[in-house]
């Protein structure tokens, strides 16, 4: 039986997950593939991590030892970050190797260049694990559903923020308290910025949108807002409106160009994504033949990410056996414009405190009407000290219209404070 040899660079959470999956499930993988997948070399600068690896494996402190081993067919890059990961991957292609990576930072910025390098070398680059952990969304978009044209892709693709928002929703707790708990449980990093400010989700959205819309989308194209401004009051109002609040990654492909944005939304409980809770992820995609689809699973973690990487290793092994590497390549054959955020159309939730006096609501309605915006619903509650809290739900409008209205609201002397402005997506991807 043929043997495909694998080298792993990086023995952190993801690297150890890949190794565990390949070793534990080796007998089944051998029978399914009719080929042996042999973990030949591992590399990490941390000697303690090297020593933890079980079995008949060559351990090295130097990534070059993996990259230049002539027997290795597939290099798994799981160190993360831009450099030296990028240099390693390009070197692997030069050395005639296929590559599997979970590196969303790198793919979201340099994915196109790396895929071109893979094609030039006649090799495969697998990156299923870069989006949605164990969820096989990239294979679905690039292969099973490739007979479709996609109009929209929506994702809950950051487990940290979904854990925080779920706990806030279910337990009525405050953002800061839940974040601290998530950090203690290991669901949030010590510096949580990349997760809570939406950058992690934006990287994954760039990758998904490039594939779904066949046009290059990179991190800098994505409009991003995080969840750190969401309060327990907002969650409570969302409940009253039959909604939950989720950090949604939204990619759309209307005639004018590509719309890519990550921000919190009020989402009706009836939407399939509203039931995606805790650290789970889900990607909802709308194709012109298949209609609405959704893919759900664990978006992170050692074994789920290891499952995705092992899946790529097995696919590439099959391609190696049949001399079919580089058969699925970069499909960004369109060059579509990226729409500016001023063109986004959305309904809005606007929560503000005003003087509890007659005619204030009428004046607000006039201000919004002058910007061409009408209200879908209004919640008003009287607070202490002659102050009323008002929640306005607008009908869909352009972001530029909303900004015009908010500029007027800010200078209206009866308005004490604009607490929050959150997009309200009643049907974020109409079929």
Instruction: Give residues in contact with a second copy (CB under 8 A).
Output: 17, 20-22, 24-25, 28-29, 31-33, 128, 134-136, 139-140, 142-149, 214, 272, 275-276, 280, 282, 287-298, 301, 303-304, 306-308, 310-311, 313-315, 318-319, 321-324, 327-328, 331, 333
Least gap, CB of 20 to a second copy (angstroms): 8
Peptide bond connecting 84 to the previous residue in cis, omega within 30 degrees of 0: yes
Cα 12 to Cα 51: distance, rounded to the nearest angstrom: 13
Residue 198 near residue 162 (C-beta atoms within 8 A)? no
Q: Kindly state the smallest distance separating residue 157's Cβ from a second copy, in Å.
A: 15
Helix (H, G, I), strand (E, B) or coil at 328: coil
**Closer Cβ to a second copy, 321 or 379, answer by number:** 321
Please, what is the minimum distance in Å from the beta carbon of residue 284 to a second copy?
8
- Rounded Cα distance, 194 and 200, in Å: 6
Contact 125, 101 (CB under 8 A): yes
Q: Which of 379, 319, 315 is nearest to 352 (CA)?
A: 379
Least Å distance between CB 141 and a second copy?
10
Work out how close the CB of 368 gets to a second copy at its nearest, in angstroms, rounded to a whole number. Answer: 34
142 versus 239: smaller Cβ distance to a second copy: 142
Of the residues 5, 204, 216, 246, which is catalytic? 204
Output the six-digit token pair for 283. Answer: 């990607």
Distance of alpha carbon 394 from alpha carbon 116, whole angstroms: 45
Residue number, 318 or 398, with CB nearest to a second copy: 318
Contact between 333 and 391 under an 8 Å Cβ cutoff? The reply is no
In the bound state with a second copy, the residue whose beta carbon lies nearer, of 192 and 304, is 304
Q: Which is nearer to a second copy, 87 or 143 (CB)?
A: 143
Rounded CA separation 184/181 (Å): 5
For a second copy, give the closer residue by CB, 295 or 412: 295
Nearer to a second copy, 309 or 371 (CB): 309
The answer to whether 14 and 302 are in contact (CB under 8 A) is yes
Report the nearest approach of a second copy to the CB of residue 108 (Å). Answer: 21
Which residue is listed with tokens 């002539």? 70
Task: Enter the DSSP assignment of 324.
Answer: -
Element (H, E) at 291: strand 291-298
Active site residue 204: yes
* Beta bridge mates, 60: 43
Nearest residue (CB) to a second copy, 258 versus 314: 314
- Scanning the structure block, which residue is given the tokens 């299923």? 128
Q: Which residues pair with 224 in a beta bridge?
A: 262
Q: What is the CA radius of gyration of the chain?
A: 24
Helix or strand (DSSP H, E) at 295: strand 291-298
Nearest approach in angstroms of CB 321 to a second copy is 7
For residue 69, what are its two tokens?
């081993």
Between CA 88 and CA 95 the distance in angstroms is 10
Q: Give the shortest CB-322-to-a second copy separation in angstroms.
A: 4
Contacts for 106 with CB less than 8 Å, ≥ 6 apart:
81, 82, 85, 86, 89, 114
- For residue 252 the two structure tokens come to 């759309």
**Active site amino acids:** 204
């Amino acid at each position: 039986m043929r043997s495909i040899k694998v080298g792993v660079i990086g023995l952190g959470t993801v690297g150890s997950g890949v190794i565990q999956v390949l070793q534990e499930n080796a007998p089944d993988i051998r029978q399914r593939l009719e080929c042996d997948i042999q973990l030949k070399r591992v590399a990490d600068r941390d000697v303690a991590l090297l020593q933890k690896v079980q079995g008949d494996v060559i351990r090295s402190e130097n990534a070059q030892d993996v990259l230049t081993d002539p027997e290795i067919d597939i290099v798994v890059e799981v160190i993360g970050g831009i450099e030296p990961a990028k240099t390693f991957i390009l070197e692997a292609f030069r050395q005639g190797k296929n590559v599997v990576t979970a590196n969303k930072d790198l793919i979201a910025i340099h994915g196109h260049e790396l895929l071109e390098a893979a094609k030039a070398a006649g090799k495969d680059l697998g990156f299923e694990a870069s989006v949605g952990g164990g969820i096989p969304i990239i294979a679905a978009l690039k292969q099973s559903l490739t007979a479709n044209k996609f109009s929209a892709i929506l994702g809950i693709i950051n487990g940290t923020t979904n854990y925080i928002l779920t706990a806030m929703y279910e337990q009525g707790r405050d953002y800061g308290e839940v974040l601290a708990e998530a950090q203690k449980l290991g669901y949030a990093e010590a510096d949580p910025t990349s997760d809570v400010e939406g950058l992690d989700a934006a990287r994954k959205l760039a990758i998904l949108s490039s594939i779904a819309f066949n046009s290059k989308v990179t991190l800098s194209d994505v409009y991003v807002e995080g969840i750190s401004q969401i309060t327990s009051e907002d969650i409570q109002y969302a409940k009253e409106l039959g909604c939950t609040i989720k950090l949604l990654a939204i990619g759309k492909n209307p005639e004018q160009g590509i719309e890519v944005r990550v921000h919190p939304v009020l989402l009706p409980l009836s939407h399939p994504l509203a039931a995606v809770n805790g650290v789970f992820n889900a990607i909802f995609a709308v194709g012109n033949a298949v209609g609405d689809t959704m893919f759900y699973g664990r978006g992170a973690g050692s074994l789920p990410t290891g499952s995705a990487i092992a899946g790529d290793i097995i696919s590439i092994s099959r391609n190696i056996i049949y001399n079919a590497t580089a058969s699925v390549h970069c499909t960004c054959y369109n060059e579509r414009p990226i729409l500016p955020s001023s063109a986004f159309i959305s309904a809005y939730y606007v929560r503000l405190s005003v003087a509890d006096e007659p005619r204030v609501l009428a004046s607000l309605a006039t201000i919004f009407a002058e910007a061409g915006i009408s209200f879908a619903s209004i919640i008003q509650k009287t607070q202490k000290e002659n102050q009323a809290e008002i929640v306005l739900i607008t009908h869909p409008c352009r972001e530029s219209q909303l900004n015009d209205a908010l500029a007027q609201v800010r200078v209206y002397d009866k308005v004490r404070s604009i607490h929050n402005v959150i997009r309200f997506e009643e049907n974020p991807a109409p079929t």
